[in-house]
Amino acid sequence: KGPDFLQFYIAGSLANQNRGDALYDPAANVREAVRIVPEAEGVVYFPFYGPQVSLFFAPFARLPYGYALLVWTSLSAAIYAACCFGIWRHCYGLKPHGRAILLLAIAYPAFFALLTHGQISALALAWFTLAYLALERGWEFAAGMSMGLLLFKPQLGFIAAACFLFCRRWKVVAAALISIAVQVAIVWIYYGLAVIVNYCSMFGQFDKLRPFLDVKLYQNHSLRSFWTLLVPQHLATMLYILCAAAFLVIAVLAWRTAAPLSLRYSILLLVTVLVSPHLYVYDLVILAPALMLVGDWALQHSQDELSPEILTLLYMSFVLPLLGPITRFTHLQLSVIAFALLTVVLFRVVSRSAVKEEVV
């Protein structure tokens, strides 16, 4: 149960021993895993996450593995529930459908994958949710601090960084940089500079890491995996770069409009998923706010000509991740198509809103 949690438990155990030199040594990780969880013999994880993650999980590693996993799984479920509730409270079109929203939140495939894998994507969901709620209140500094915490999964912060930079939201950018600097400082004080250098040098070995990243491509739901499953590697890389650039432009242009924050933020989350070079099914929990915000807009604008199309794509975006295993045979990840189409349709709505704003 929760097989991925083992890597975080190991990192926490190494942190408790102040063994920063072992954090990015795969052999040392294997030895530590066998020492503290003998049943893990033969299981190999490549340490991908930043050193701050090891400090976060240090308290968990003081518990027996089974109890630590139970505590983390319960905490992940609580974070997910709190985030869904926090967004739902601001979705007036969804307010009358509280019971249905609860059932849908529980049934969301990404939530099930999150709990069964023992992954830490609930933290990314929390930071994205807090950032949205802060932006909604005009608390740009708080939003930036929250965005900076995405450093533990840097690929998830790229689109947000681009949007805020190109839109000159300097307070958000400055706060994010402060947040990142604080995390780096804490790691430096605890471990020293060497562990930061080791972590950064890992990104220069991408070709060696690719076999670890591309395990179970059918569970990936981004543009990179979509093209990798369909065409030869050299074509896949080129098509991924072209599509990622196109969706990056869409996200930035959407954020330069006067459209509602709910739609702009939903586009940001969808494009984050699409552009991320490595995004497993459990990472799709970060789309939970987008699915709720878009559904709320569609219900409140039921007379809009694009509303039926949006609701259909919303349903597809919710359900199609379930069909991921079929991709092993079809080589076509349908969920990515749904995310892309939903992004394009939302951009049509946002662009139209911008035109109306300019006319007024």
Count of other CB atoms within 10 angstroms of residue 232: 9
For the segment 246-304, what is each residue's pLDDT rounded down to a tens digit?
A: 999 999 999 999 899 999 999 999 999 999 998 999 999 999 999 999 999 999 999 98
pLDDT at position 360 = 34
| Cβ contacts of 198 within 8 Å, gap of 6 or more | 21, 23, 24
What percent of the chain clears pLDDT 70, i.e. is strictly above it?
Answer: 94
For the segment 140-187, what is each residue's pLDDT rounded down to a tens digit?
A: 999 999 999 999 999 999 999 999 999 999 999 999 999 999 999 999
Tell me which amino acid residue 260 is.
P
For the segment 65-76, what is each residue's pLDDT rounded down to a tens digit?
A: 999 999 999 999
Would you tell me the crossing angle of helices 307-319 and 288-300 to the nearest 10 degrees?
Answer: 160
Global pTM? 0.93
Count of other CB atoms within 10 angstroms of residue 17: 11
CA distances from 64 to 9, 37, 38, 61, 67 (A): 10, 9, 12, 7, 5
To the nearest 10°, report the CA torsion of 5, 199, 237, 162: 100
Euclidean distance between CA atoms 184 and 181, whole angstroms? 5
Task: Report whether pLDDT(15) > 60.
Answer: yes
Tell me which amino acid residue 266 is.
S
pLDDT band at residue 96 using 50, 70 and 90 as cut-offs: very high
- Tell me the three state secondary structure of residue 220: strand
Q: Compute the average pLDDT of residues 212-222.
A: 80
Task: Report whether pLDDT(332) > 80.
Answer: yes
Residue whose entry in the numeric block shows the structure tokens 């007024």: 360
